[in-house]
Structure 1
Amino acid sequence: MKKTTLALVAAAVLVSGSALAHQAGDVIVRGGPILVVPDASTKNHAGNTLQYDFNVNSNAQLGLTGTYMITDNIGVELLAATPFSHELSLPVYGKTAKVKHLPPSLYLQYYFLDKDAKARPYLGAGINYTTFFSEKEILAGVTDLKLKDSWGAIVNAGVDIGLTDNLYLNTSVWYAKIKTKATFKLGGEEQRADVTLDPMVYFIGLGYKF
């Protein structure tokens, strides 16, 4: 995914000849595949039967962003996506559960270079809210699984590359702080664990300026 993103960016830079003209008042909508790669770790509470870290798989969905340019160089962006689906597994036990989540995020961005540059890199930072739902137990003996919603920081970097006056290629990455508290029963015994996900998120797609 990362190698593909870099290759497409390099190719677009070489062939692109259109200025972006991001400026105050513009609304920019982007869409394309988005990949969440969790870096999971687990802190078990005293008395837990389980003493292993949960493993959480990666998942790709359709990513959508909407940006409003406050000035020629400052924008505010909302990140959204179709629901991500992850499998939680434990060493020795194997697949334990499935869960879905949505990670809407709001952040400010600073766009470098002049508004008429052919490519405009940017950096952003803000707040992420992650809501978990549709928890489904797989491992026999596991019941009543619930994951609490999470608030945390998010940082963003990306680049827009002009294809036409209003259409361009975008590639972006995010790093989000996501920490949830998992509660469940194993063989009828209450279990609690703090699960940190802290994913890297990768996006490549097309953008359109209104």
Structure 2
Amino acid sequence: MNRTLGSWSLAAVALFGSFVAQAQDESDAPASKGRHLVQIGVFHVDTLDSSTPLRSHIQPGALAALGVQSDFTSDTTNKVGSSNTLALIYSYFLTDNLAIKFEGGIPAEFKLYGSGVVQPTGPLGSAVAVDLGSPDFNPLAKVTQWSPAILLQYYFRDAQEKIRPYVGVGATYTWFTDIKADEDFKNALNTRFGATLAAGNGKLGQSTTVDAAAADDLAPIFNMGVSAELSDRWSLSGSVSYTLLKTTANITIDAEDGTRLATSRTKLDLNPLVVAFVLGYRFDL
């Protein structure tokens, strides 16, 4: 019994000694300058969005005689839903307190929702009106957003501190792909707007097509967060970023022969608020 107790005591002393040695090694760890940091985690994106009313320009053709004007504005609004996606981040420490960061990951998918009625002027207006808020049409569209970003970050406190707040500023270039309008929404635009405008322009019986697009944008990013060191290599970080992101969304209707029958656009202030939680690994090359 005493021999066993003595063995456990020696093992405990040795284990304690190893923890002390590890702590000393970590406390003497090199400063952050020149080190690389890779992080993986989750982005949660909420858009603090607003939109302008939908403005439309159409080719009324013979319908102009019935009071259908070529330009009109509809009392509509659009809203973008939230999204979650994988975050991939790389940082390089220029000094103990200053780092340059590149953010990427899997592009986020967003859903666009609408409300209000698109209705041309004149007696035919109500006949071809489309309700953007109809449950059959929403979400109106789905879109994939690409937003790679570069930021310059300042870390407060000494490099050996376990908890380090930071702030950052940078920019992102954003573009949109895989824009898919709801099929019921597209069908309503084709059968009401498209067919009527085609007939008014001497293209009776021609099919029409609906396309959607969104403009690219270069936008500033403001970031703040805190990093908690788990060891010399591993860390956890949580942050919040705000981006002044804007885009213009366009919906077009074309006749079968390529004639542009209608263009509708709205300006969207997306202004995404991004919350990130990431696990990081720091290394030297």
**Aligned mate of 1:144, from 189, 211, 224:** 211
Q: Which runs of structure 2 are paired with 1:40-119 in the superposition (5 Å)?
A: 40-44=49-53, 45=55, 47-48=71-72, 50-91=74-115, 92-93=133-134, 94-119=138-163
Q: Which has the higher contact order (CA 8 A, sep 6+)?
A: 1
What's the TM-score once normalised by structure 2's chain length? 0.64
In the alignment, what sits opposite 1:179? 246
Q: What is the aligned-residue identity percentage?
A: 30
Indicate yes or no: 2:31 matched with 1:27: no
> CA 1:22–1:178 in 2, change beyond 3 Å: closer, same or farther?
farther
Structure-2 separation of matches of 1:36 and 1:22: 33
| 1:204 correspondence with 2:277 | yes
CA distance in structure 2 between the partners assigned to 1:166 and 1:80 by the alignment? 21
Aligned length: 194
- Distance change >3 Å, CA 98–CA 49, structure 1 → 2: farther
CA drift at 1:189: 2.6
Is the Cα contact below 8 Å between 1:22 and 1:69 reproduced in 2?
no
Q: 1:39 aligned to 2:48? A: yes
- 1:158/1:48 CA distance change after superposition, 3 Å: farther
1:165 and 1:95 mapped to 2: Cα distance? Answer: 47
Q: What is the Cα deviation at residue 51 of structure 1?
A: 2.6
Q: Is the 8 A contact 2:83 2:109 kept in 1?
A: yes
State whether residues 51 and 79 of structure 2, in contact with CA within 8 Å, keep that contact through their aligned partners in structure 1. Answer: no
Residue pair 2:211, 2:253 contacting (<8 A) in 1 also: no
Q: Which has the higher helix share?
A: 2
Aligned-partner Cα distance in 2 for 1:22–1:56: 43
Deviates more, 1:18-27 or 1:131-140: 18-27
- Name the counterpart of 1:189: 262
The structure with more radius of gyration: 2
Coordinate RMSD, CA, aligned: 2.0
Deviation at 1:40, TM superposition (A): 1.4
TM-score when normalising by structure 1: 0.86
Asked whether the 8 Å contact 1:30–1:66 carries over to 2, the reply is yes
Q: 1:168 to 1:39 in 2, by over 3 A?
A: same
Matched residue SS, 2:48: coil
1:114 is paired with a residue of what secondary structure? coil
Q: Is the CA contact (8 Å cut-off) linking 1:48 and 1:191 kept in structure 2?
A: no
Give the distance between the partners of 2:270 and 2:253, measured in 1 at CA: 22
Secondary structure at the counterpart of residue 252 of structure 2:
strand
